[in-house]
Amino acid sequence: MLPRELLVNRELSWLEFNKRVLSEALRADVPLFERLKFAAIYFSNLDEFFMVRVGSLSDQHIMTPDKLDDKTGWNAQEQIAHMLEKIHSFEPMTEEMFTSLVAELKQYNIDFVSFDKINKMDEMIAQKYFSEEIKPLLSPQIVDRHHPFPFLRNKEKYVVTCHTNKNDNERFGVIPIGHLPDYFVVSFDGRKKVLFTCDIVEHFVDHLFTKQKIVETATIRVTRNADITVDEALLDYDIDFRGVMRELLKKRRRLFAVRLQMSCKSEKIQKCLCRHLEVTPAEVFVQKIPLDFGFGFSLPGKVKATDNSLFYPERKPQIPAVYHQKIPIRKLADSEILLAYPFHSYNPFLNMLYEAADDPEVVSIKITLYRLAGHSKVVSALCYAADRGKDVLCMLELRARFDEQSNIDYSAILEEAGCRVIYGLSDYKVHAKLCLITRKDADGNVSYTTQVGTGNYNENTSEQYTDLCFITNESTIGRDAAEVFNNLSIGETTEHTEALWVAPHCYRTHVLELLDREIDIQQHGGHGYVAMKVNSFNDVGIMEKMIEASQAGVEIHLYIRGICCLRPGIVGSTENITIRAIIGRYLEHSRIFVFGEGDRQRIYIGSGDLLNRNTQRRVEIFAEPKSERIRKQLLYIMKTLELDNSQSWIMRSNGSYERVACQEGERPFNNQMRLYDYFGRDAEETPAPAQEPVAAAPEAAPQPGWFRRLLNRLFGAS
């Protein structure tokens, strides 16, 4: 067991990550509507945190109350108490954020109407909307002996009243408003006025209960547990897996409440709700700001904002200039390609699928699917390939949390198109990003094109997340990929590979082996070096090995966006470990591992973080690019992370984070913008990273059919 002073609780670490997201909404140098979006992301993240993490720990408290966290020794109830305390501590920061946003929006003629001090004109506008747009759609309910307390849906808002009738009997009223627009935007006298529906209903609630005296009124919002495991359902249902997931989704809607949000401190209402919802006072959050910040995503479109200064400068994904010579897929011949999103367009990968569908030598396309876009172009390409007679195998993970219904729907679409659909393994989620194209020529020779990614096959998030797409014709990787798909098809995991790392058996062990190698190098007079970029880290076994490496003198740089349960910089244990986090315009999502320097250097990219679930309970895939060009590109990415002084945070030895600021005389360096410049031109023409202003990269015009004209400049004509 590691000493507790070296570790951070997983949940508290995640909350610190979300606090960093909230900090972006307070930055004066971030465009105003982008700050509003960061606020919306913070609250959306927090919703999911309550549904998943608080929900699962609440289950654990009931089922295994004596189970202790391996980082802090807290049981589930103690962890929840610490989590709620920390979330409550963020409330002043959220209020400051909203106040500053409202004040700055006023400067752009956008007013959030406050009903605490409403003027006559605004009240007339609100009255009109209430009478014409809202009241006809409301269905108020009374709670008494004859009218039981209604079920409150997850994440929907309600206006609740406490009132008395002519006999002074106290009753409660519940008004569902989740089916109405969240807000209205009214243009008046050259200004845009934003009126929240819940505020309008609260203000005119006496028009709904005309014979009662209103004592208290509040807008409320309930968050419910969403943590349901498939194993639980399989015990109860003897039906197909897709049917199991449908039943699970129905069950999820009615799980117990884990949070109650209220717009004001209404004691009678709170007492009533706590009794009916079975929540404790600590799980009640009284907010002076909107209960739901979803409007942060949509408001710019509703107010028709055209001022470019309110948004980040437009950056279009590019198709790199090197992809303009004609080489078919089958002629790639051991060549390797790297696409870096969002700097590169997703179209090259889509075109690869379509070209495989039209290639007479292609026998099959096999792919793992985890999260897909709403109107997925990837699914369209796979359906087209099946229609062209290709054997298309889709490993579709139905347990991708909150994407279950989407994946259920896509499974039916793919099957209808003629694709073979499998649902993975009972004990392991398939989180790998793997695509295999198999060809057979006229002489019977079999060859492969394999793609390994760090992110989902989702063309929408490819413009929002930083991810990597590695494509190769290397035969060993192709054989490993074929073995992975064969095992998935028969419900088994892959235990042995030649080139790929495949979790749960061939990922963690390789990481530990390469850490051991760097320890040995350091102990024999060399310089041990490790750099890793992941989203989260809590695997204790790997932590133990990193501490051993640090104690031996190995230089370790970790770039971890979210959860990190290891404290750096502690003398005698982790003093040779530095930990940084990037929070910027794009969600950092790629995973890159670098072990060693010079000729012994090994570089891997893949789908898995260093969480227990990734190393031990999921199928993940990592590949090692051999191309010197790609290796330089990956090292360049890692170098820009180290030099970033615009959107970087450094973790201190006490587990807190401090924003990295420009020093006096130092110029801003934004790694994401620098990578736009870098991937917009040939790598060999790009200088090494320097701390200087980054010029915008010229946008390359998309090249139709680029995958048929691949990389002549890069690999030579075939």
**What is the distance between the alpha carbons of residues 390 and 361, in angstroms, rounded to a whole number?**
10
Under a CB-based contact definition with an 8 Å cutoff, are residues 528 and 550 in contact? no
Under a CB-based contact definition with an 8 Å cutoff, are residues 330 and 447 in contact? yes
HEC string of 78-92 equals HHHHHHHHHHHHCHH
Q: Judging by beta carbons within 10 Å of its beta carbon (0-12, 13-18, 19+), is residue 684 exposed, middle or buried?
A: exposed
Close Cβ partners of 135 (under 8 Å, ≥ 6 residues apart): 204, 207, 208
**What is the distance between the alpha carbons of residues 292 and 314, in angstroms, rounded to a whole number?**
28
Structure tokens at 483: 């073995």
Phi, psi of 580 (to 5 degrees): -125, 155
CA angle, 678 then 679 then 682, to 5°: 85
Give the HSE-up count for residue 473: Cα atoms under 13 Å, Cβ half-sphere. 13
Q: Strand, coil or helix: what is 658?
A: strand
Close Cβ partners of 110 (under 8 Å, ≥ 6 residues apart): 191, 192, 194, 303
Q: In terms of Cα–Cα distance, which of 11, 407, 53, 390 is closest to 226?
A: 53
Give the HSE-up count for residue 432: Cα atoms under 13 Å, Cβ half-sphere. 34
Close Cβ partners of 691 (under 8 Å, ≥ 6 residues apart): 643, 645, 666, 667, 669
Close Cβ partners of 103 (under 8 Å, ≥ 6 residues apart): none
Q: Strand, coil or helix: what is 140?
A: coil
Under a CB-based contact definition with an 8 Å cutoff, are residues 645 and 660 in contact? yes
What is the H or E stretch that residue 515 is in? helix 508-523
Close Cβ partners of 183 (under 8 Å, ≥ 6 residues apart): 194, 195, 196, 197, 295, 299, 302
What is the sign, positive or negative, of the torsion defined by CA atoms of 198, 114, 107, 645?
negative
Q: Strand, coil or helix: what is 365?
A: strand
Q: Token pair 């949390």 is at which residue?
A: 401
Strands of the sheet with 591-595, listed across from one edge: 501-502, 621-623, 602-606, 591-595, 529-534, 555-560, 577-582, 648-651, 657-659
Task: Sort strands 577-582 and 555-560 into parallel, antiparallel or unpaired.
Answer: parallel
Task: Sort strands 191-196 and 110-112 into parallel, antiparallel or unpaired.
Answer: parallel
**What is the distance between the alpha carbons of residues 644 and 649, in angstroms, rounded to a whole number?**
9
Q: In terms of Cα–Cα distance, which of 640, 631, 576, 634 is closest to 599?
A: 631
**What is the distance between the alpha carbons of residues 508 and 374, in angstroms, rounded to a whole number?**
33
Residues with active-site annotation: 431
How many Cβ atoms from other residues are within 10 Å of residue 25's Cβ? 26
Instruction: Quote the DSSP letter at residue 667.
Output: P
